Chains A and B, each alone.
Chain A
Amino acid sequence: MIKLRLLLVLFVVGYVLVYVKLFYLQTFNSLSSNANYVKTEKIQPSRGKISDRHLLPLAVNQIKYRLYVEPKHIGDKEQLVQRLAPSLSLSEASLEARIDMSKNWVSVAAGISPEMRRQIMKLKLNGVGFGEEPDRFYPEASLSAHLLGFVGKNAAGGAVGYFGVEGYYDKELTGLGGVVRSEQDLLGRPIFLGIQEKIDAENGRDLVLTIDNSVQAIIKGRLKNAMESYQAQQGCVIVVDPNNLEVLGLSCLPDFDPTTYYQFDEALYKNPAISNLYEPGSTFKPMVVAAALSDKAIKPNDTFEEAGPVTIGEYNIRTWDDKYEGKVSVTRILEKSSNVGMVAIGARLGNQKLYQALEKYGFGSPTGIDLQGEVGGYLKPKNQWYPIDFATATFGQGIAVTPIQMVKAFASIINGGNLFQPHVVKKLVSDHDEQTIPVKSLGRSVDAKTSEIIKRMLEATVNNGEVHWAKPAGYRIGGKTGTAQIAIKGHYDASKTIASFIGFVPVDQPKFLVLTILWEPKASQWGSETAAPLFFDIAKDLIVYYNISPDE
């Protein structure tokens, strides 16, 4: 009994000693008085990945490192600089300048790859450490640069998406950060019985695009060749499914590599397909004809007088070749791309209804495509239009539109009259669910019968146009060329044009619609000799890719 009591006393004394020591350590000891036992750390969410419609990756995450130095722990600064500078490809002088010995922590270099980090760690340098920095990697480099955009930094140093889908869906891609509060000992080990709280990070959502990587590769390759052949300043190709306005491919040149965007001129970041305004020229004519047919202002078999130039106020409007055929049908007006004929059709439609048609097609407003940086174009208020403005609008001059607006409007006249919002993202996928972006209908532009009529007219335009193209035999293709002069300081420069072609295959049930635009081609200023051959090259490739069987 006495022994048991003695044992108890010993344990009690032992406990008291432990408590006294703990009290001393926590209250009087300088090391522990500075210690903060509860550490709060943010959990960085992973940025969502971006893939094409077949789930091929277009944007994924990679890790880069920031190299930092703790000047108080490096020892010999000169030796450190001598050993570290070659690995960083920096001069010793500039590395030495970065290391401020009066500071506790200095950032020396960012964007260090894992391989470089391993090499530097082998040097076993004191006072040198690495901080992880999430970064973005684009496996296809510049293939879809304007579509994707890039991830840069904001003023606070945080990652932010700019342009394209990286910019438009930045919030969805970023996700929500988490927090972990952990009670740790002086050595940084978690105290198991202490505070351990965690709010998990919610990773960003993955995007599945409507884009087809193969279509993207096809159009970019053809566009690059065309830019070289025709010596154009700039070019764009847009491919859509006209039945739902899913963008299958969008490529503009010159472009940039999103992984190393900072090495390129900022002017290249803007996507010309949604941010550049241009005068569409004759590619606009089918829209006006469709509006006139739908309104019953004209009938398909109507004829018009094309005797010579038309005078509107002080202006004379001529055909592109100054040749006149007398009586011409509506189809013939499109086949020969007669400006005089279009003015006559516009007059039958009426200025009021012409303006209403332009608004109905969506010109002057953004299409709402889910890419950052879209501009809406400009449609002057009707009361500011002069008679010459209404006349020139019928053949696509004097109005400014974006390429995507043209695609949206043109698609509506060949798909039965349905206006859809173009879109690039098909699905948003998270860990818990999948959200499909529905096709957004914006009403009708023309009636279904008009759509069938205009398709036949556009087929005739391809078959009987002034230039005979190398179109794939056995396939029925519809389309229209456009050659618009560029307005410079209030006057049109006859030597500078925007050449374009918009077409679709096959005529009966269009599977794809392609718009090709070349700015200031030097080899020839005409759309029929530059943008049109580019369209047919692309069409041939897409016919094979989509396995479209011939009509004839």
Chain B
Amino acid sequence: MKKNNLPLTQITIIIILLLVVANIYLFVRGMYLGDDISRFETKTQQLQQENIELEKKVLAAESLEHAASVAATLGFTSKSQPYSLESLKYAFNR
């Protein structure tokens, strides 16, 4: 009886030791993952903020209001009426 119990006891102890090691390993990995998640969350938030800022700049530069303001600064003429509407005879060769 005693001889049969010895290998069983040894196996149990070894399993417990392995589980303890695995527990410690997982716990420490979990801590590092938590660190990584925090870092990635902060980074993602930063990128989202940068993205919104850049989008705003692009849209402001693309807007008609900006184009009109730059055109006014550069002295673009507003007299660009297509005269063909008043002188259709030229288009129709009358």
Contacts and interface: CB of A to CB of B under 8 A. Distances in A.
B37 interface: yes
B52 interface: yes
B86 A4 contact: no
Q: Which of A5, A60, A189 has the most CB of B within 10 A?
A: A189
Interface in A137-183: 137, 139-141, 143
Q: Is the interface of A mostly helix, strand, loop or mixed?
A: mixed
Contact of A190 (B27, B34, B49, B59): B34
Interface string B48-62: 010011011001101
22 contacts: A1-B10, A8-B16, A11-B20, A60-B56, A61-B52, A62-B52, A114-B49, A139-B63, A140-B63, A143-B65, A185-B34, A189-B34, A189-B37, A192-B31, A192-B34, A192-B37, A193-B30, A217-B64, A472-B86, A473-B87, A474-B85, A540-B85
Nearest to B64: A217
A219 B56 CA distance: 26
Interface of A: 1, 4-5, 7-8, 11, 15, 57, 60-63, 114, 132, 137, 139-141, 143, 185, 188-193, 213-214, 217, 472-475, 540, 543-544, 550
Q: Which of B26, B59, B81 has the most CB of A within 10 A?
A: B59
Nearest to B87: A473
10 A-B pairs with least C-beta separation: A192-B30, A139-B63, A139-B59, A189-B34, A472-B85, A190-B34, A474-B88, A192-B33, A62-B56, A192-B34
Contacts of B34: 185, 189-192
A543 B85 contact: yes
A140 B64 contact: yes
B65 A114 contact: no
Contact of B65 (A1, A62, A137, A139): A139
Nearest to A184: B34
A57 to B, nearest CB: 5
B17 A473 contact: no
Nearest to B89: A473
Contacts of B35: 189
Contact of A57 (B59, B68, B81, B82): B59
B44 interface: no
B6 interface: yes
B72 to A, nearest CB: 12
B65 A140 contact: yes
A473 B38 contact: no
A289 B31 CA distance: 82
Contact of B13 (A8, A63, A141, A193): A8
Q: Which of B6, B33, B65 has the most CB of A within 10 A?
A: B65
